[in-house]
Structure 1
């Protein structure tokens, strides 16, 4: 007995096979009533997608650029002095290049501009443009609530942990593993007195991953408390440095901390090394872990396009978090390696 096909469903439903294909993906371009009717026919016939055919189609799509499919929204929230571009421009670079492969372009939409823009209005604009996929950039604060946005109309992926509500599928850097790699790289170079400096705000933005990894690695190394207690960046760095004399400092938000070290009369890296557990641009001079930002943007597009194809929209019941490993870079803020004997 031959298995039912989409052509069989189309014949019974009296629609084109393309309509059946879109309806089975719950594509919003097909009226909901039609989608429900086609799903019922498919269920009655016992239709199941051919996994081998789906894999072949996916392979063909991956190997060649597709004709224009539409636009994905790059949703930013540039409220106040916040600007996503200096830190996250490589996310955008990777996303744009990967989107072209699928036949999409990416357009920037700002929740904070023009002034007075509402979440409902932004949703209506995107729906009117027939935009079905959204990439939500990191937020300016950790208490941002975008629940009132009409997520049920869109497939959406967020970058990182900074969006408080709703909880969307997430693509980001593997921050815990990044600091673990940082610690083990430093120990392998012969460093023993390793300090850690963080801000409370940044600690929350990264879901406590850096602090958690540092404390875990220090516990494994010492069997107890860290050799040097972590420093909250708002405290007196000079007093902390003179008391504990770290050979190298891991700064969770390194760029903002450099001036504090120089104000203490210290030279980098001659007096003290500085390492960033994740820096966002491959062009940065940092020693530490490059978070592979371009690839994070690529994976975010892979994820949202797959969601569009599956007809997966709205706030998910079960979250998926895709974390991308970074790469250790010796950089210019650390003295050359001095391996332990």
Structure 2
């Protein structure tokens, strides 16, 4: 049988310069995978000289889908109209907001006659009746829900502990909806969740702990088959700058290992990618189907990430460097660490213990270093008499002047500078002054100080995050909680007993 010759590859499209420029702009501003793919369907044939078949293969689509993408009008951020034409045909966005603002109270209360009342008011304003489907769509947009309600009598309350099925029968919702409401799922309207949870509290509903364990085992098995992703956000100027800090490396190692043990994979997302913003990154993470976010320590003290769309995610921060918003936190108990170090130094005979630290180091932990130090002096030394140096002007000259004027018998600090400066100033330790560090790193094997258990802080961040994900706690919490890991004292050769 005679075979047909193979079809020659189709040449790429030939868009106008305006279309090409518009596609380039749309690619830079794309917030969804579909928007990016449409822009690339026009850009790739021109920049790479690809045929239609090659372009479709590179985008992971069929040739017919590629043609539809190329024919669809490309819109940039300025030309997009996110509201849709049908609603704008009824009223302008401002008119719509003003109209429904007057009905806010009634929409929250949801009386039985509400729909008819708004329908009549809207018909009077527009001079024509509005279809019920359009009216319901608008009402849903402003927080209304067509709730299935029925009167509940005391006789209907079950004698035993109520089950999901009892709540479902009483409310008129399915068991799935009741379960989602009790887990505060954002897929349900707030009014529906509040209604079901109010009844559950009234009836004394409590989840079965054995069932919770069983479901967690099911979820764990599912995770072990296909690891889910946990996002690890970094924000240093250069992508890998955070790796220069030993504490930050230990945080990440602990978080990575704990995530792996629980069947998850930790993946880094860099906030300073070119053309990247906090808002856009949150949309990318959401499009990836990622539900959990760990915010690594940030480079400057107290920055803000308000533009990140936190309501999509369960989130935990490491340390105190994020000022806004305030999230659940995993960190070292720095106040306890400083108190422990001071007690251990006092035990071996040090009495005039000096505090020397760069100001930003204390700011980053919400002044817990300073607070722990001053509390340890209580009843022993007046704060104004303590040898204390907390300086923005952090250099060897400033430290040397302070040391000559204060003459402490021991110094507590963080950071590697003072150990180096003592050597450069030819001040022997521990003979002339003891040196103790509140945040020991692996390189400080001989230094007296506190092991902050930084890997355990990383472990704790994942444990806390998974508990939030299990309970479906999303967004910025009203009452943030902190998971603190206590430090351990480790003696070294930079201090010695003063009693001899």
* Shared fold (TM-score, shorter chain, > 0.5): yes
User: What SS does structure 2 have at the residue aligned with 1:96?
Assistant: helix
Residue number in structure 2 paired with 1:94:
254
- Paired with 2:333 and 2:383, the residues of 1 have a C-alpha distance of 25
Of the three residues 470, 485, 493, the one matched with 1:324 is: 485
| Residue 316 (structure 2) pairs with residue 157 (structure 1) | yes
Residue number in structure 2 paired with 1:110:
270
- Paired with 1:89 and 1:147, the residues of 2 have a C-alpha distance of 26
Of the three residues 217, 233, 237, the one matched with 2:399 is: 237
- Paired with 1:82 and 1:204, the residues of 2 have a C-alpha distance of 23
Equivalent residues, number: 331
Of the three residues 469, 475, 479, the one matched with 1:314 is: 475
Q: CA deviation at 1:296?
A: 0.7
Residue number in structure 2 paired with 1:277:
438
- Paired with 1:166 and 1:38, the residues of 2 have a C-alpha distance of 25
Residue number in structure 2 paired with 1:84:
242
TM normalised by structure 2 equals 0.59
Structure 1 residues 70-79 or 314-323, which shifts more? 314-323
User: What SS does structure 1 have at the residue aligned with 2:305?
Assistant: coil
- Paired with 2:304 and 2:251, the residues of 1 have a C-alpha distance of 22
Q: Is the CA contact (8 Å cut-off) linking 2:450 and 2:488 kept in structure 1?
A: yes
Question: Going by fraction, where is helix more abundant, 1 or 2?
Answer: 2
Q: CA deviation at 1:6?
A: 3.4
- Paired with 1:321 and 1:84, the residues of 2 have a C-alpha distance of 23
- Paired with 2:221 and 2:346, the residues of 1 have a C-alpha distance of 45
Residue number in structure 1 paired with 2:380:
221
Tell me the alpha carbon deviations over residues 218-276 of structure 1, each in whole angstroms, 9 at most, x when there is no partner. Answer: 2321255344243534462223223333232111x331333222221224444433211
Residue number in structure 2 paired with 1:187:
346
User: What SS does structure 2 have at the residue aligned with 1:125?
Assistant: helix
TM normalised by structure 1 equals 0.84
- Paired with 2:370 and 2:199, the residues of 1 have a C-alpha distance of 54
Q: Is the CA contact (8 Å cut-off) linking 1:9 and 1:42 kept in structure 2?
A: no
Question: Going by fraction, where is strand more abundant, 1 or 2?
Answer: 1
User: What SS does structure 1 have at the residue aligned with 2:259?
Assistant: helix
The answer for unaligned runs of 5 or more in structure 2 is 1-158
Q: CA deviation at 1:103?
A: 2.2
Tell me the alpha carbon deviations over residues 162-214 of structure 1, each in whole angstroms, 9 at most, x when there is no partner. Answer: 11211111111111111111111001011223111011211211211111222
Q: Is the CA contact (8 Å cut-off) linking 1:82 and 1:140 kept in structure 2?
A: no
Q: Is the CA contact (8 Å cut-off) linking 1:5 and 1:47 kept in structure 2?
A: no
Q: Against the structure 1 CA distance between its residues 243 and 116, is the aligned structure 2 distance closer, same or farther, given a 3 Å change threshold?
A: same
Structure 1 residues 173-182 or 35-44, which shifts more? 35-44
- Paired with 2:351 and 2:216, the residues of 1 have a C-alpha distance of 49
Q: CA deviation at 1:121?
A: 1.0
With a CA cutoff of 8 Å and minimum separation of 6, indicate the structure with the bigger relative contact order.
1
Q: Is the CA contact (8 Å cut-off) linking 2:316 and 2:461 kept in structure 1?
A: yes
Q: CA deviation at 1:127?
A: 0.3
| Residue 236 (structure 2) pairs with residue 74 (structure 1) | no
Q: Is the CA contact (8 Å cut-off) linking 1:9 and 1:38 kept in structure 2?
A: no
Residue number in structure 1 paired with 2:92:
none
Q: Against the structure 1 CA distance between its residues 5 and 211, is the aligned structure 2 distance closer, same or farther, given a 3 Å change threshold?
A: same
Residue number in structure 2 paired with 1:292:
453
Tell me the alpha carbon deviations over residues 52-99 of structure 1, each in whole angstroms, 9 at most, x when there is no partner. Answer: 336745996999996346211111102259822233111112112222
Tell me the alpha carbon deviations over residues 84-126 of structure 1, each in whole angstroms, 9 at most, x when there is no partner. Answer: 223311111211222233322111111012x221111100111
| Residue 355 (structure 2) pairs with residue 199 (structure 1) | no
Superposition RMSD in Å: 3.2
Q: CA deviation at 1:158?
A: 0.8
Q: Against the structure 1 CA distance between its residues 269 and 86, is the aligned structure 2 distance closer, same or farther, given a 3 Å change threshold?
A: farther
Q: CA deviation at 1:133?
A: 0.9
When Rg is computed on C-alpha atoms for both structures, the one with the higher figure is 2
User: What SS does structure 2 have at the residue aligned with 1:230?
Assistant: strand
| Residue 188 (structure 2) pairs with residue 32 (structure 1) | yes
Q: Is the CA contact (8 Å cut-off) linking 1:197 and 1:250 kept in structure 2?
A: yes
Structure 1 residues 206-215 or 217-226, which shifts more? 217-226
Structure 1 residues 323-332 or 266-275, which shifts more? 266-275
